[in-house]
Structure 1
């Protein structure tokens, strides 16, 4: 491997975008810097003029996860085909200036596909990372199965956020390509157990007697938005409760909230949305406000937000989507509701709330222990080091 490999990571979403995909991209880039790599990130944005390229010399000014990373933001055009063709031109421009050894596609499409196309066009290595429902989206119509398969076949190294995603990639290829599972790393100093901040509860407008059901990230259909809303109604029929969304609702899914407000105005009035938060510390403080953390996803890789809630020793209820069962052991450190039965999420919340306080504390303690054992930066760094060694063999430049 080159003594200081130069890596370009292509990301569809990157801070200040919210959500697990953006945070995991920043964290991967920052972790590669800590391993001695020079790291550039190319991320798309609709906040800049179409086709414009903006460079931030140290992405640590954007997010603490990516200190030492050079961030290039590229404004998207109205159509995907124009944006991708222009992106290839920009990649060529950046490579001529900065001479990359490895291109890393963070999510299979379009970042992964573009990473492999560009790497092959200039004769350098590529790796792609499956992060969430990207495999499922491309497998079935209207997804592009041919492009998915080509990307998996041609990348030098395949990585995934969970063993479940790795198995799906191997199944599609009909062989074991040696998928490297990169465990999401949680900062357990920031995301740590502790009492809820009464001042924060008051600022959010949460009444003293209300139970707080929590969700963190960008809420949308695939994250179980309809089931969160129905769970709130179910719980509120038995006791005062609110739903705290730590982040925001994706704009195109906001119609679910509009319909819910029309049918259940009193329940809808108890949906508290924090909006985007600037720091991990602020996110952690909001997570500690939650009495139960909910992750009723329909599709998943390995959700960062769930792991952060477990690190904060919150009782968690999650679906069995993707890699979630790799983190949550039902009845030991949280509870699993099968995807097919998520209409019972509200009853599951009531069941957890009826547990003795010492039982809920024990659940949180076990959840915290799981994060400390499997989802620390040291485990992530070990796999990233192996990926670099496989993609850029020793002595290459």
Structure 2
């Protein structure tokens, strides 16, 4: 019998509970993972909730298969969808029969990830599990008192451990997240593995001239949600010296946008805060390149791909001292951390960076770019390929 080559293309099923057109880090990672693996010659399929109402169906015409499961909207979120087990389990089983995956990679322990894992285990198929979730991400969408949210958080951690403990390997983007999963979900040997980024995509192109803003500008990119604390940026801009004429550019949409606009009006700086809404990839790249400073005030970031994107564009950063964000700051060299929610401290740091000579700000930006190198997307894809094939130090986890 002739043995198959060890590096033959794999059929990979990626199970996501959020996927484009959803706009969040987990959805973006699922897309980039599928795109990268497809580019390496693998047969890739993605399973994810439908972004609208209707029966389960497979989308055709794309470079890889995308299989949408029947889903339902939730009243507290503008786009999040949930799948009910009794509506998706049969369809998941039918997709396994049709796709015949060599390996399954789940992106969450919720409905789609959980039942895809169960089906794979039943068939003896290798499962890799990646966690992009922290219980704090749910807080803005649970209209309950804090004591009840704490119960929900404990149950979420327990469920994560129950589901992901059945995977061959468990990964998460940062060492801090891995430590939290070990402590709260009782998951040993969680592998910290960056989501990865193609930093070259955010650099100026050969011969390209970047037209900077007329005014010093602080950029935020992300979903306008409570846990992102974009109000701290608006308050901070209002506290900077008037003669600096600092502006803010806010890219993204979300449930708190109206409240943020009202805050800018109240603080008397509506003319200095630009809400761009959702933009395409090229406009986003230019936003990073034009910005003088990038700010992420969020307190529930597992890695913050948008911060890595800004750093790839050689932009200094100001980040809340919370969750995984401290890993992306070399104090004073590429930016600063600030106390979460402290708009006065943030205003001081904005003023400090924007008052530097241009050469010193450029040096901070170059250091940001250098710090992105360990987060290479190619390195992340190579590691996942090894894990899919049962290679690597954690490959023997039962």
TM-score w.r.t. length of structure 1:
0.83
Worse-superposed segment, 139-148 or 33-42: 139-148
Relative to structure 1, is the Cα distance of residues 330 and 55 closer, same or farther in structure 2, using a 3 angstrom cutoff? same
Match of 1:64 in 2: none
SS of match in other structure, 2:303: coil
Out of 335-344 and 359-368, give the one that drifted further: 335-344
Alignment of 1:305-384 (within 5 A): 305-339=306-340, 341=342, 344-371=345-372, 373-384=373-384
**Are 1:231 and 2:236 counterparts?**
yes
- Corresponding position of 1:294: 295
How many residues end up aligned between the 2 structures?
Answer: 370
Give 1:35 deviation, angstroms. 4.1
Counterpart in the other structure of 1:154? 166
Residues 5/140 of structure 1: CA separation in 2 closer, same or farther (3 Å cut): farther
Tell me the secondary structure at the aligned position of residue 293 of structure 1: strand
1:276 alignment partner in structure 2: 278
Give the match's secondary structure for 1:167.
helix
* Equivalent position to 2:152, from 105, 121, 142: 142
Superposition deviation, residue 135 in structure 1: 7.9
Judge which range, 143-152 or 189-198, deviates more: 189-198
Give SS of 1:274's match: strand
The 1:249/1:78 distance shift into structure 2, 3 A limit, reads: closer
Whole-angstrom CA distance in 1 between matches of 2:73 and 2:341: 37
Task: Check 1:357–1:385 CA distance in 2 against 1; reply closer, same or farther (3 A cut).
Answer: same
Deviation at 1:317, TM superposition (A): 0.6
Instruction: Give the match for residue 145 of structure 2.
Output: none
**Structure 2 residue matching 1:27: 3-state secondary structure:** helix
Give me the whole-angstrom Cα distance separating, in 1, the residues matched to 2:177 and 2:329: 16
Who is 1:10 aligned against?
15
CA contact (8 A) 1:8 1:41 kept: yes
The CA distance in 2 between the partners of 1:275 and 1:78, in whole Å, is 22
Instruction: Specify whether residues 191 and 268 from structure 1 end up closer, same or farther in structure 2 by C-alpha distance, changes over 3 A only.
Output: same
C-alpha separation between the residues in 2 aligned to 1:82 and 1:364? 43
- Residue 258 of structure 1 and its aligned partner are, at CA, apart by 5.0
Give secondary structure in 2 for the equivalent of 1:219. Answer: coil
Residues 343, 379 of structure 1: alpha-carbon distance in 2 compared, 3 angstrom cutoff: farther
Question: Tell me, what secondary structure is at the counterpart of 2:127?
Answer: strand
CA distance in 2 between partners of 1:112 and 1:385 (Å) = 19
The CA distance in 1 between the partners of 2:371 and 2:359, in whole Å, is: 19
Shift of 1:313: 0.6
2:223 match: secondary structure: strand
Q: What is the SS of the residue equivalent to 2:356?
A: coil
Inter-CA distance 16–211: structure 2 relative to 1 (3 Å threshold): same
Higher relative contact order (CA 8 A, sep 6+): 1
Question: Gaps spanning 5+ residues in structure 2: where?
Answer: 1-5, 75-80, 140-148
**How far did residue 91 of structure 1 move?**
1.1
- Closer/same/farther in 2, CA of residues 365 and 261 from structure 1, 3 Å limit: closer
Post-superposition shift, 1:221? 1.8
Q: TM-score, normalised by structure 2?
A: 0.82
**C-alpha distance in structure 2 between counterparts of 1:45 and 1:176, whole Å:** 33
Unmatched segments (≥5 aa) in structure 1: 59-67
CA contact (8 A) 1:7 1:101 kept: yes
Does 2:248 match 1:243?
yes
Q: Which of residues 50, 56, 63 is equivalent to 2:54?
A: 50
1:214 offset after TM fit, Å?
A: 0.2
Q: Against the structure 1 CA distance between its residues 229 and 9, is the aligned structure 2 distance closer, same or farther, given a 3 Å change threshold?
A: same
The reply to whether residue 169 of structure 1 matches residue 173 of structure 2 is no
